[in-house]
Amino acid sequence: MLSAREFRVNCVTATPLRGRVVTISVNWRFLRARRSPAGRTSFCEGPPKSELMELDDHAEELASDLGVDKQEVSSDLEDLLQYSVPIDEAKQSIRRKHGSGGGGGGGGQPESVDIAAVSTDHDNVTVTATVLTVGTRSIQYQGEEAVIREGELADESDRISYTAWQDFGFETGDELKIGNAGVREWEGAPELNLGESTSVAMADESITTDANTTLGGDRHLSALEPGDRGRNIEVQVLEAESTVIDGRDGETEIVEGVLGDESGRLPFTDWDPRSDIEADASLRVEDVYIREFRGVPSVNLTEFTQVSTLTDPVAAKSGAPRVSIADAIESGGRFDIEVVGTILDIRDGSGLIERCPECGRAIQNGQCREHGGVDGTDDLRVKAILDDGTDTVTAILDHDLTTEIYGGGLDAAREAARDAMDKEVVSQEIAQSLVGGSYRIRGKLSVDDYGANLDVTEFQPADDDPADRAQTVLDQLEQPAADGGVPPDTTRGGESQ
């Protein structure tokens, strides 16, 4: 017979974790006090009469499907309905008990699996794992604010992310047996969902994790990836500016800027502004999460983030890491990198252009994709195809850099266009000065369905030895052929406004 303690609407008990309090949620809407025949007080209401009338039909259906005794099924159903388990959920639980119903094993708990074996084909699983990280934040769920705990678990086979919808009291480093954890897909991979029906207890035996597994959330900025939760960083605040946005609760003050450490730089947003975060401050920031913003990782601080001032200052790296274009694109987006390559061509939409006065997008023939017909404002930019032999990227130079390259500002560009009666003369002059040259370019890389774009912050002629760079390119081109592959595609490049 199934134990009612396995289901989320019963008066459940839980194993305390090292004396810590475990919060248990009970659906009180279904409960009322009544006196049992033995004289004990119960707070669990039985099933409505209509459900009791249908119980025999449900029991017969289940017994037939599962090939088990109808009386046993009927008894299980009656027990579950007594604790106000919805009939569909009760039937699914009985199917899991008898080895049917998607990813569950026999008995009251689903099958116990290694983390590497967890897949989205499972409904629920039991795992034994070490807690690598624990982060806390609030989210909007079904129109209400909910506080969740999230992070990663690991065993010897692999690691997996989790979301806990209540505070089970576990901490980083705890070794746990987690029963009846739900499985969902999150960012293309399985994730464990720990809810009211999940049991959490200390593991009976020590758990071995992979040698490459890092316990705790401490990371350098260069190691952070979108989707990371419960991370800790030690950084210097390079830029910080307070601004007001139209948030989910109306106008909201936030602080945005740039953080740096010895490995690189990343943008950040503090959703709960605090006075510690100011330019040049060296800080330890605990419990941040990372999301993708405008194509690159962004550090997010919440009301649960702890910030403390460091005694020893953090030396932020002044230069950007030099990488190949192929490696940069493979990373999916980088906030601050340096690449060296040859400009093959200048793309359409370079030179003297017009922008929408509302959104700043480049427009064509007076038409904005967002706002329709508008009176555009003049601007200068360059969209250059840069090739380093491993791949190509579209380098986007803004007004100031384009002015420097062109040798004149908007007035000079307008005059040249009037004299030639053709705006294209500006982009042609820029192409004559740039195409075929080798340049060292620093900026922010973003990658989308249209290709890769590098928003340029620094643009200089290359200062390395062209012969050495040419040999490097030749080596990179020859390697795929030796492996039976093909040289890199030199026609790619993103579109940007």
Per the document, the length of the chain is 497
Binned at pLDDT 50, 70 and 90, residue 49 comes out as very low
Binned at pLDDT 50, 70 and 90, residue 89 comes out as low
Q: Would you say residue 331 has pLDDT above 90? A: no
Cα-based distances in Å from 255 to 190, 242, 401 = 33, 4, 28
**Cα–Cα distance measured from residue 253 to residue 474, given in angstroms and rounded to the nearest whole number:** 52
How confident is the model at residue 72, as a pLDDT? 82
Binned at pLDDT 50, 70 and 90, residue 431 comes out as very high
Q: Would you say residue 496 has pLDDT above 90? A: no
Please indicate whether residue 126 or residue 40 has the higher confidence score (pLDDT).
Answer: 126
How confident is the model at residue 450, as a pLDDT? 84
Name the CATH code of domain 115-202 (choices 2.40.50.140, 3.10.20.30, 3.40.50.970, 3.30.479.30): 2.40.50.140
What's the rounded mean pLDDT across residues 222-233? Answer: 93
Domain residue ranges of the chain, discontinuous segments joined by +: 4-97, 115-202, 221-309, 325-482
Report CA 244 to chain centroid distance, whole Å: 24
For the segment 134-184, what is each residue's pLDDT rounded down to a tens digit?
999 998 876 788 899 999 999 999 999 999 999 999 999 999 999 999 999
Quick check: do 221-309 and 325-482 share a fold? yes
For the segment 101-145, what is each residue's pLDDT rounded down to a tens digit?
444 434 456 779 999 999 988 889 999 999 999 999 998 876 788
Please indicate whether residue 351 or residue 490 has the higher confidence score (pLDDT).
Answer: 351
221-309: CATH superfamily: Nucleic acid-binding proteins (2.40.50.140)
How confident is the model at residue 357, as a pLDDT? 93
Q: Would you say residue 461 has pLDDT above 80? A: yes
Phi–psi pair at 288, nearest 5 degrees: -110, 160
Is residue 360 within 8 A of residue 376, CB to CB? The reply is no
Task: Note the CATH architecture for domain 325-482.
Answer: Beta Barrel (2.40)
**Cα–Cα distance measured from residue 332 to residue 445, given in angstroms and rounded to the nearest whole number:** 8
For the segment 274-292, what is each residue's pLDDT rounded down to a tens digit?
999 999 999 999 999 999 9
Cα-based distances in Å from 49 to 78, 91, 424 = 12, 18, 82
Binned at pLDDT 50, 70 and 90, residue 86 comes out as low
